Structure 1
Amino acid sequence: MLDADFFRRWMTATAASVDREAERLTALDSAIGDADHGSNLQRGFTAVAAELDKETPATPGAVLVLAGRKLISTVGGASGPLYGTLLRATGKALGDAPEVSEAEFAGAFRAGVDAVTRLGGAAPGDKTMVDALVPAVDALGDGFAAARTAAEEGAAATTPLQARKGRASYLGERSIGHQDPGATSVALLVAALAEADAK
């Protein structure tokens, strides 16, 4: 069973990973976006980790709702609302249970992914974070390591695609040949889930 401490570890591991990879995310974003994805997410998840140091939400859902709210309030661009919606919707779907099973989390995470696709209007193949989120949530039933692999493969598979949503879509064919930064940061988020599980 997964408790609030597990979800705090997930957010802390994500913050550390985004911190390490911020320059790479920004470099990817400079090719097809605003060159701010890494710095924006770094600011957001640093704020989430600091908030979780001050507050200790009692349930898995409360941890994720707090994290989502903090991302929406601190991250500029599209990534704040999208990541914030992902975590808030997942947290709300978990409800007030003090512990949740991996299957319950997988169902709640799917609700979060669905909320992101509604907000952003993106589908798999559009060269967005959805290209890593959907394979990850589809693989969650096989465990966190399987989800991590699926997210990483989904992110890599965005490279040959032409962007159909988001800022990169303005580039048309020039977006081809660049890995999507949003899908890449989703792979970090899902890898951090596997890391939290290993501790």
Structure 2
Amino acid sequence: MTLDTDWVKAWMTAAAAVIDEHKHELNTLDREIGDGDHGENMDRGLRAVVVALDKLPEDTAPGAALRSIAMTLISTVGGASGPLYGTAFLKAAEPVGDAESIDDPAIVAMLAAARDGIVSRGKAEAGDKTMIDAWTPAVSAAASAQEDGASAADILREAADAAEAGAVATEPLIARKGRASYLGERSIGHRDPGAQSTALILRAAAETAADE
């Protein structure tokens, strides 16, 4: 199975829908350890992404679509999430290049590049109670699935499962990056909102790949 620009568009449409469904939950998570607007910011950004993708020419390659997502998120999502997610999609486009479709190895490379872009931008590591705690296990799970010969949909499903587990695993951590780090031990017991939105977005990727 290969994934193309139609999948990228379907992924972002599904991601926008699931973020809209969970935006109040994300706001609540963010209110506990941050500014309280992560859900609203991501909802606004992904709505803008769907509009931007609809305006692309029909022959747009998936890499170019990913770059469009990046630029839209950077310009519309407030706080730290815009630059972080924008960088993720910008870097994700690099291994895809100008190819007309995204094959299985490119899926893994895309996820790894996205994760590495966030690390480079935010200077966070696994265990810091950030979205990296969802991205890192997602990349590892995707790589293992691809090595085992899994389909594109199953690679993304494994990544989404790992991201969801990673988001839950942020709850007992002490935040060491971002606004939440100011709380110190008081951040224990709260799930990181960026890790949760990552899990939601990667689940949308898996579900739309399964429909391809």
TM-score normalised by length of structure 2: 0.91
1:25 aligns to 2:10 (yes or no): no
1:90 deviates by 0.3
Following the alignment from structure 2 to structure 1, what is the Cα–Cα distance between the partners of residues 60 and 197?
27
Following the alignment from structure 1 to structure 2, what is the Cα–Cα distance between the partners of residues 108 and 157?
24
Query: Of 83, 86, 92, which residue of structure 2 is paired with 1:84?
Result: 86
The answer to which of 71-80 and 88-97 deviates more is 88-97
Work out the percentage of aligned pairs sharing the same amino acid. Answer: 51
Partner of 1:150: 162
Query: Of 162, 180, 183, which residue of structure 2 is paired with 1:168?
Result: 180
| Residue identity matched to 1:3 | D
Following the alignment from structure 2 to structure 1, what is the Cα–Cα distance between the partners of residues 63 and 156?
18
Following the alignment from structure 1 to structure 2, what is the Cα–Cα distance between the partners of residues 19 and 51?
17
| Residue identity matched to 1:111 | A
Partner of 1:58: 60
Spell out the pairing of 1:33-112 with structure 2 (5 A cutoff). 33-56=34-57, 58-112=60-114
Per-residue CA deviation, residues 67-123 of structure 1 (Å, 9 max, x unaligned), is 010000011100000000001110122110111202112112211211110110000
Following the alignment from structure 1 to structure 2, what is the Cα–Cα distance between the partners of residues 28 and 181?
5
Partner of 2:118: 116
Q: Is the 8 A contact 2:174 2:181 kept in 1?
A: yes
The answer to which of 142-151 and 27-36 deviates more is 142-151
Structure 1, gaps ≥5 residues long? none
Q: Does the residue aligned with 1:164 lie in a helix, a strand or coil?
A: coil
Q: Does the residue aligned with 1:35 lie in a helix, a strand or coil?
A: coil
| Residue identity matched to 1:38 | G
Following the alignment from structure 2 to structure 1, what is the Cα–Cα distance between the partners of residues 210 and 96?
22
Q: Is the 8 A contact 2:95 2:106 kept in 1?
A: no
TM-score normalised by length of structure 1: 0.97
Partner of 2:148: none
1:180 aligns to 2:192 (yes or no): yes
1:198 deviates by 1.7
Following the alignment from structure 2 to structure 1, what is the Cα–Cα distance between the partners of residues 186 and 37?
19
Following the alignment from structure 2 to structure 1, what is the Cα–Cα distance between the partners of residues 73 and 95?
18
Following the alignment from structure 2 to structure 1, what is the Cα–Cα distance between the partners of residues 39 and 110?
26
Segments ≥4 residues shifted beyond 4 Å: none
Structure 2, gaps ≥5 residues long? 146-154
| Residue identity matched to 1:135 | P
Total equivalences in the alignment: 199
1:190 deviates by 0.7
